[in-house]
Amino acid sequence: MKGFEIRLECPASETRIVQLHENLVDAGQALRDSEFDVFLLDVTSDDGTMTAGCKGEIAFKSAHISELWVDRRHRGEGMGSELIQSAEKFAKEKGCIRLHLETRSEKARELYEKLGYTVFGYLPNYEGENTFYYLEKRPG
């Protein structure tokens, strides 16, 4: 197509984002929201406040841990490790052959490596001098 024009939308309109995603779904390159499982694991205090949480998505026999958070007052108590291990158990029950996640925190990367995750890619100087790490684990 000669003479095409590229337009920039920033911020992008939700309508155009949905249109792009639907085009990818139609081409077999993306999933609809209803085609993957979103899971949430959390630790809640007696007053109902979330103390720690882990969110992920399962698609194509892979579990992506997209968010992990532990309240500052409870870091170092093992909640993060327990949440990751619970996510691994759930993913295995769902038939996943791998889990993957990413982080730009060196401390988090070290925790994930202690839990058996390996770095399979990284982007140096992602945020200033911080590196963005991609990690995976294949549950046994």
pLDDT band at 129 (very low <50, low <70, confident <90, very high): confident
Q: What is the pLDDT of residues 1-44, one digit of tens each?
A: 688 999 999 999 999 999 999 999 999 999 988 888 999 999 99
Rounded to an integer, what distance in angstroms lies between the CA atom of residue 121 and that of residue 123?
7
Interior angle at CA 116, CA 115 and CA 119, nearest 5: 115
Is residue 87 predicted with pLDDT exceeding 90? yes
Architecture of domain 14-137: 3-Layer(aba) Sandwich (3.40)
Cβ of 23: how many Cβ atoms within 10 Å?
11
DSSP string for 30-84: S--GGGSEEEEEEEE-TTS-EEEEEEEEEETTEEEEEEEEE-GGGTTSSHHHHHH
Identify the H or E element spanning 126.
strand 118-127
Residue spans of the domains in the chain: they are 14-137
Nearest Cα to Cα of residue 104 among 65, 76, 83, 134:
134
The token pair at 112 is: 């994930």
On whether the CB atoms of residues 98 and 114 are closer than 8 A, the answer is no
